[in-house]
Chains A and B, each alone.
Chain A
Amino acid sequence: MKRTSLIALAIFCVALYGCASSRDYDDTAQPSSATIAETESTTIASDASTPPNLEGTAPVTSSTNSVTLTNTTDTLNQPATPTTTTTTTTTTTPTDQSMTSSSTLSDTDTTQDDTTTTTSTRQRMRKD
């Protein structure tokens, strides 16, 4: 009797675990929304009578932004190829800091075959 109970308990446990895991497949609804079947029709978009609401310019205080890009240096040591150095520097005053990276990207490709050495302080752009 005890063994039967244990087996039943084990089966129940496995089934319950499976249910709990598979529940995620339905856990994709939006706030106050429910995912519906893909075949369900809708009458919203592409309907000329209900175009998206468009609104014009809103007054917002002007701002100056900052981008500092420095020293993009590419050096090719290939015999037939001359060394190329490009330096770009742009500096303005930041206010929103949404792009605050200085970039130094230098590559040394000694053979342009299989040896590539790269050191970089990479440009990062904030998506705020």
Chain B
Amino acid sequence: MKRARFLLLIVLALPASGWDRTETLLAKAWPAAPYAGLAEIGSSIGIVFSPDLSVPGNCRFYSALGFACFESADWLQILADVHAWNLDHPGRRIRTLILETHGTNGHGLKVQKGKAPDDERSYVSVGALQEVLEPVGVRYIILSACNSGRLLRPEIYLRLNRDPGDKLFLPPTRGIIDATPEFKPDRNAITVITPGASHIENTLVGALRELAPATRSALQTAAKKRGVKLPKQFAISEMLIQMLLRDPKLELRTGSHVDELSKEQTSVDTSEQIFGTFVAHLNFIAARDDRATSATASAAR
């Protein structure tokens, strides 16, 4: 009888370990800062864009929000820039790197300028990212690419397959980066995080004009603080928005891979709803900060 009660308790307790997994991962990779102003939203977060998933001046938008932003079709350049950033900005080191790149149907992380065969394009394996980025203090890599779970398959974790037989695997005109034979994943300090479900991820394009005037004004101030000029448009992924807003529908995981290829994609309406929450969030922060500034000014008089 006692053993039965014990087993029952175990069965009841087990599900709790899964419910808060996403929340726990996010708390560690991107700690919530509920009172951060617009200029500090991306503090200690790096973000990498494939050029064809971006818009002109996109990184200036993220710089204004406090992110360290990188955009290139050459992974070697990106990794060198991340190294340089962490060495040059000891007070704003990147601890978490979010990859807004292609997943090539789960055959490799791809950055490219376009889809013509001779466009600039390069690939990197997940193991290589861990190997190169650990020494400069990166501790979390979040894969916001399509079919991210397939990128963790053991057969391509360290070295990518050069001929996966997939039309999305276009010529690597700027090379492929693999982990070195000496690399040992079990001794690496970086945690790789993927969406809970492997599916098609989307990046959305928004216009600054969609933000409230007060928000645009606050962004201008933030951009001036960072020494950048705001672009007219910005690109943002649904997953980034969901992480920023701690969307309970978002599921993240680590430590496992998937084999099957998914073609599942969010609906247009869902995309629009997600984008709307981002706009509302920025508008709220700007309004809150504006009110706080006004109150401080009134008190000083």
Measuring CB to CB, which residues of chain A are less than 8 angstroms from any residue of chain B? 9, 12-13, 16-17, 19-21, 23-25, 27-38, 40, 42, 44-46, 50-63, 65, 74, 95-96, 98-99, 103, 105, 107, 109, 112-114, 116, 118, 120-128
The smallest beta-carbon distance between B104 and chain A, in angstroms, is 7
Main secondary structure of the interface of A (DSSP, over half): loop
With contact pairs A34-B186, A52-B177 given, residues A99 and B209 touching in the complex (Cβ less than 8 Å) = no
Q: How many chain B residues touch the partner (CB < 8 A)?
A: 97
Q: Choose the segment among B38-46, B60-68, B133-141 that binds chain A (4+ C-beta atoms closer than 8 Å).
A: B133-141
Bound-state Cα–Cα, A123 to B255, Å: 33
A44 touches B135 (CB 8 A): yes
Measuring CB to CB, which residues of chain B are less than 8 angstroms from any residue of chain A? 5, 9-10, 12-14, 16-18, 20-21, 24-25, 28, 50, 52-53, 76, 79, 83, 100-105, 114-117, 128, 130-136, 139, 144-147, 152, 154, 157, 159, 162-163, 167-173, 175-180, 182-183, 185-192, 200-207, 209-214, 235, 237, 254-257, 265, 268, 271-272, 275
Main secondary structure of the interface of B (DSSP, over half): mixed
Give the residues in chain A near B100, CB-CB below 8 Å: 127
6 closest residue pairs by CB, A with B = A65-B115, A128-B146, A33-B185, A123-B205, A53-B178, A20-B13
Bound-state Cα–Cα, A96 to B110, Å: 15
Bound-state Cα–Cα, A120 to B157, Å: 40
The smallest beta-carbon distance between A80 and chain B, in angstroms, is 16
